[in-house]
Amino acid sequence: MRPVLFNLGPLAVYSWGFFLDLAVAAGVVVAVIEGRRRGVSATEVLNLSLFATLAGLVGARFLYVLVEWPAYRADPAGAFSIFEGGLSLYGALLGGAAIVFWSARRRGRPFFMYLDLLAPGMALGSAIGRVGCTLRGCCYGHLTAGVFGGAWGGAWGLTTPLADGLRFPAQPLEAFLDLAIFATLLLPVFRRPRVHGLRFLVYLALYALVRLVTEFFREGEPLWGWLTVTQAFSLAVLGLSLAALVRLVRAGRLANDRPALASRTFRRL
């Protein structure tokens, strides 16, 4: 682990904060590139990204603290220590989506068009952010001695200053899977979709699936049986996004046969 990435004289640059900033910057660059393909100016994308990022950070911290409230009950002021780590991407999605919806209405843009151009950058940003988690040591996995009933042994894994023992590398695993989502969203089928929302809903479904799987390897208290709070939320998001995808595909097929209906249906999205 390397919580302090490097020092600039007396100033310590922390890994988690550095990679969080890098994740935001990379996401914005990708969004600007995607915006050009859809005829959206760089200035418009930058303004959208700035406000969505700020709202996303607030939402991400709020949901994380809400889920982990037992740990903050004794020290409520710690809830505001955002640069010590602790963000929920689902919270970021909720907070950011609210700003995107407001911006889309204000500019007369399709809401899901905005989400489609932001989705690849969010996937890339998640991957970069997990590198920061790895170096800081947060979001750590189970003891490797207990993974799969101890079948893999306990003589390997990552250390963390936040817990004892060798830990399953849950953060690098999720970073790799987030990169796979990013690569998937760059496939030609998503570059010129017939309907708005396809790319974002695929991103949402894939990310929910990734979190559902990786949570099996992360340390945490189950909500019910083997199900953690994050897994319960992931199951709900996965189900809703798949249902929305099915509806979107069906509507797209209908729209191919009835262009007038297509215009009315997707103009508002």
Residue 266: what pLDDT? 40
Q: Averaged over 111-122, what is the pLDDT? A: 93
For residue 254, tell me if it sits in a domain: yes
Largest Cα–Cα separation, the chain? 66
- Tally the domains of the chain: 1
Q: Give the domain range for residue 8.
A: 4-140+163-267
Please check whether residue 248 is in contact with residue 198, taking contact to mean a CB–CB distance below 8 angstroms.
Answer: yes
For residue 157, tell me if it sits in a domain: no
For residue 154, tell me if it sits in a domain: no
Residue 153: what pLDDT? 58
Write down the pTM of the prediction.
0.85
pLDDT band of 23, cuts 50, 70, 90 = very high
Q: Averaged over 85-98, what is the pLDDT? A: 82
Q: Averaged over 190-198, what is the pLDDT? A: 79
For residue 158, tell me if it sits in a domain: no
Beta strands in the chain (DSSP E): 4-8, 11-14, 158-160, 163-167
For residue 155, tell me if it sits in a domain: no
Residue 17: other Cβ atoms inside 10 A: 17
